[in-house]
Chains A and B, each alone.
Chain A
């Protein structure tokens, strides 16, 4: 079945540092890929998405490229801020599977001033 593996945290960074969170997936079809963010005590918000190979999703300075050859969707941001402290989830959606989302375990990121 479909699955997502993302790098384990926690990750602690200083402001303006570069952030990378690795995400790889396994799927039998052609999934869509997502990064969600969860701020403390809140639900999940979509951060960015990519729906086909080589698509690049971007939002709020974050980017991720859908790499079919390496089955990866790594999240990057060039200069993090304290407000980026959150839990980040990589996920995939298989249209042949009622659009159910398969999530990675989440990566906790803490940015210090």
Chain B
């Protein structure tokens, strides 16, 4: 069966520090991968998605970047965090036109 992992689960970082969040998927091949952000009390905003290794599409210009070094690994990064980067970050995958499957999320607080 397929599983999706995200780490860390929670993170508190000062403004201006770097960020690296990791997402890995098991039990499937060549998935589409997605990064979403959920700000407090708000809906989900798609940040990046990838249809293959090294292929990244950005939905919203911002302080973040994404990479996909391996088929089932998706990384969200920042060189210098802003207060506005705080939120709940969710990774998701799919292999077809149907539903996406979400990871447990990483709660990021920038202080």
Interface size class of A (residues with CB under 8 A): 20 to 34
Which of B14-22, B77-85, B98-106 touches A? B98-106
Task: From A42, A99, A104, give the contact of B94 (CB < 8 A).
Answer: A99
Of B32, B59, B103, the residue contacting A99 (CB under 8 A) is B32
Q: Is the CB of A105 within 8 A of B98?
A: no
CB of A89 within 8 A of CB of B98, answer no
State whether B49 touches A98 (Cβ < 8 A): yes
CB closest chain-B residue, reference A90: B43
C-alpha gap A104/B43 in the complex (Å): 7
Q: How many residues of B contact A (CB 8 A)?
A: 24
**Chain B, interface SS category:** strand
Q: Which residues in B have their C-beta under 8 angstroms from that of A49?
A: 98-99
Whether a CB of chain A sits under 8 angstroms from the CB of B96 is yes
Known: A43-B103, A99-B94. 5 other contacts (CB 8 A): A36-B102, A44-B44, A44-B90, A46-B101, A101-B34
Listed in ascending order, the chain B residues whose CB lies under 8 Å from chain A are: 32, 34, 42-44, 46, 49, 51, 57, 59, 90, 92, 94, 96-105, 107
Task: Please name 16 pairs of A and B residues whose Cβ atoms are closer than 8 Å in the assembled complex, sorted by A.
Answer: A34-B99, A43-B90, A44-B102, A46-B101, A49-B98, A98-B49, A98-B51, A99-B94, A99-B96, A101-B46, A101-B100, A103-B44, A105-B42, A105-B43, A106-B42, A106-B43
